[in-house]
Chain A
Amino acid sequence: MLLSLLLRTNRRERACLVLGTTLLIIQVILFVRARFTETRYFCWAPFHSEARYTIDATIGGRALNDDEIARRYVLERYYWDKASRTNWELNAIAHVIDTVRATEAALLPSERAAVVVTYRVNGRPPERWHSP
């Protein structure tokens, strides 16, 4: 079907068709890739998993408070629970960890924090990720 369309369309429409098909193929490739990774970017996995998590960060021995942590990693706190210090992530928790990792990597070594992310995915027992 695609081939017959390519043959009977003009040059502009053909280019549009190729571009559009490429966009769709990228999604399929990323869907397949997601089977081998923890992240779920651009592969249509809404509500793939959910996690309650807490981030603790320390710079030069000083622990950052929750507001400083939220600002540092630009985390939305729509579901922030002050009592338990947990936020709720509705994408893969790997996305939060990725953001923390990338934020720290973009800073000078002297500005980097020691970070611990404690999380529970889908109600399972808590797990922990730390950097460095």
Chain B
Amino acid sequence: MSESGRNRWARALFGCVGADVPAEVVLLVRLLAIAWLLTGHALFLPTRSVPFFEVLGPIANSPVVAWAEFVVGVVCAVQLLLGRAVRVSALTLGCLIFVTTLLSRAYFSNNRLYTACLLVLAGLEASKGSKLLLRAQVIVLYLAAGLDKLFDADWRSGAFLRSFASNLASYGRLWSPGHDATTAYLPAQLFGSLLDTTPGLAVVASWGTLLLEIGIGLALLARRRRIGIALGLAFHAVLLVYTGSPMGMFFYAATASYFAFVDLPSRIDVRVGPRMYAPLLRVLAAVDADGLCHVQPGPRLSVIIADETRYGASALFALAVRLPAFYVAAAAILAGPWFTPWSALVLIPLALGFCPFGPLAPRTEIREVTG
């Protein structure tokens, strides 16, 4: 492939700047599209049962409608993957998931509806600004999920978790498209037997879960974005490893939605020693589609982002986790048929990058001047 061809593909797959929605929103919906395509959601016709409203009965079982949903869904997902017509494609795919759910009770699932909400709200976001709608959506999700558990007696007493863990240990892992639920799975078995031998642990784990969900929502609401995102990523990684399943779109949608709280850097200054200069330029030419990185020769590898300087391996991780290409690659590793719970290891660079999403925006100080 020629260099210009490679650049075109890099731009299509990794480029986030230039659409009429913020770059973080482009990346968010691209990650959703990758998961939607690779998990097989886009490629299978939905299961049909009775619709939610009787009036939809005549069209619910029409093969024409089902095929139209399939074709439109695939086209929109590919458009989002390539960063084309982002607003329209996100709105269309989101609405399509809503309509498909209304047409079939069997299709109802929280993870798909959350994906639909994110897509619709991404399509409705302002061209510039703080991604208010998406942020509100993420906060509503965590607060509602946590409070629902708090209001439930079986969650407070640990009865749900005891029964759930016992059932999961006997089944294997949670089902997800393309994966078998009935293979024995060690983490689920270990946790199940731990709860059998230590019944009090179920109460602690239940309260821990519901308080964590509420805590993530409150942290994001109180603009403690780093804490909220770190807690959220840890929570979803633990769930992924324990259940052995991304739970359909849940893991992907939940983690991608944190981009609503993130500002991608507009410029990254890289200094690099003479030996690494040429190879780094080649790598960045392939993955830095938005041209964020400005590389200059220097005594050693250093990365400067918004006045923060890092050196050596730390600089490398800090650089990697600030490039959209990292998240595209991570989504492909996590969402493909090759997924295993150990795929979660791909998130480790986020921790090594320390403040993975860039420094907080400077707070505006309002000084009162009297007399």
Contacts and interface: CB of A to CB of B under 8 A. Distances in A.
B173 to A, nearest CB: 10
A66 to B, nearest CB: 16
Given A73-B49, A106-B50, 7 more contacts: A16-B125, A27-B144, A79-B167, A102-B105, A121-B154, A122-B160, A123-B159
B351 interface: no
B137 interface: yes
Chain A interface size range: 35 or more
B47 A17 contact: no
Chain B interface size range: 35 or more
A63 interface: no
Contact of B126 (A16, A74, A123): A16
Contact of B148 (A21, A48, A122): A48
Interface string B132-161: 110011001100110111011010000110
B133 A50 contact: no
A46 B152 contact: no
Interface in B83-126: 104-106, 108-111, 113-114, 117, 120-121, 124-126
Contacts of B154: 49, 121-122, 124
B133 A48 contact: no
Nearest to A124: B159
A91 to B, nearest CB: 8
B49 A99 contact: yes
B106 A76 contact: yes
B148 A34 contact: yes
Interface of A: 1, 5, 9, 13, 16-17, 19-21, 23-24, 27-28, 31, 34-35, 40-50, 52, 73-76, 78-79, 88, 90-91, 95, 98-99, 102-103, 105-106, 121-124
Contacts of B151: 35
Given A5-B132, A88-B167, A122-B163, A48 B152 contact: yes
Contacts of A73: 49
Contacts of A45: 110, 144-145, 148
A13 B126 contact: yes
Contacts of B50: 74, 99, 102-103, 106
Contacts of A17: 124, 126, 132-133
A28 B140 contact: yes
Contacts of B126: 9, 13, 16-17
Interface string B11-47: 0000000000000000000000000000000000001
B181 interface: yes
Contacts of B340: none
Contacts of B166: 123
Interface string B41-69: 00000011110101001000000000000
Contact of B108 (A34, A95, A103, A124): A95
Contact of A24 (B54, B106, B136, B164): B136
B162 interface: yes
Contacts of B70: none
Nearest to B122: A20
B259 interface: no
Contact of A19 (B105, B109, B124): B124
B148 A98 contact: no
B171 A24 contact: no
A64 B164 CA distance: 29
A9 B129 CA distance: 11
Contacts of B357: none
B239 to A, nearest CB: 10
Contacts of A47: 149, 160, 164
A46 B110 contact: yes
25 contacts: A17-B132, A19-B124, A23-B120, A24-B136, A27-B117, A31-B144, A34-B148, A43-B144, A44-B148, A45-B145, A46-B247, A47-B149, A48-B149, A49-B154, A52-B167, A74-B49, A78-B175, A79-B182, A90-B174, A99-B105, A102-B50, A102-B105, A122-B154, A123-B159, A123-B166
